[in-house]
Amino acid sequence: MSDKNTFLLDGVAIAFNAGDTVMDAALRAGAYIPHLCHNPEFTPHGSCRVCIVDVNGRRRSACTQPAATGLNVDNSSDDIVAERRSLLQMLFVEGNHVCPGCEKSGACQLQAVAYHAGMLSPRFTHFFPQRAVDASHPDTAIDFNRCILCELCVRASNEIDNKQVFTISGRGIGSHLVINSPSGKLGDSNFAATDKAAHVCPVGAILPKHRGYDQPIGERLYDKQPVSIVGDVAAHENDAQGDDHDR
């Protein structure tokens, strides 16, 4: 393999194409870098910071770091894994994430990435914010308690659905997901259950109605294989949606 278009990821040479990020090249090569806000179909965002890596001695988000010759990327040292685990612990306590009582358990990317990073319990004090549940739409419910502000639904609605249903408002701890409708309710927007935005949430914030616990816990996506092998839950949900349409 030529060194001209490669960089090192944990000591392994990874080939890249012009315009690739470190994340793009790594995933194409089958090398897993933990992430939540990344989706190859959308513009890179870098909001969750879970894909933090060390690039030539400096911390970077793999999903926004351009791939280049001469990069030495650390994705799995003790220091990097510890920082990633702390980021995940903060995500858990900033919302109301109680895995045993969540419909998404076993198919939740946040939960699966936390297991991968060795996060078995939160270290920080829970905020227990008071957030609403929006069940106004006939097919889809939004539990704002679980939103991690990854903006995947925002980007999907803007870039794929061309509907601009979602945005993020506020600053700092006051940041929150907003629905573009006269009432602020999903049911009054032009959102549809077939939208791309309905199938990209990495947590249990956007859920289909009338299908609760159709798939038993223990038989779900990440119950069978870890996220490092399976990949993003959104891709598999889209595949399943296609299978349903085929039937």
The residues spanned by each domain of the chain are 6-76, 98-246
Instruction: Identify residue 103 by its one-letter amino acid code.
Output: E
| Residue 105 phi, psi dihedral angles, 5° rounding | -55, 130
| Confidence bin at 3 (pLDDT 50/70/90) | low
DSSP H or E run through 239:
helix 233-246
21, 63 Cβ separation under 8 angstroms: yes
Residue range 6-76 in CATH 3.10.20.740: yes
How confident is the model at residue 213, as a pLDDT? Answer: 82
Ramachandran class of 200: left when φ > 0, alpha when ψ lies in -120 to 50, beta otherwise: alpha
CATH fold of the domain at 98-246: Alpha-Beta Plaits (3.30.70)
Q: What does the chain come to in residues? A: 247
pLDDT digits (tens, 9 = 90+) for 168-216: 999 988 899 999 999 999 999 999 999 999 999 999 999 999 988 888 8
Is the pLDDT reported for residue 16 higher than 50?
yes
72-74 vs 166-169, strand pairing mode: unpaired
Q: Which of 31, 92, 105, 93 is CA-nearest to residue 62?
A: 31
Q: What does pTM read for this prediction?
A: 0.91
Express each pLDDT in 44-91 by its tens digit. 989 999 999 999 999 999 999 999 999 999 999 999 999 999 999 999
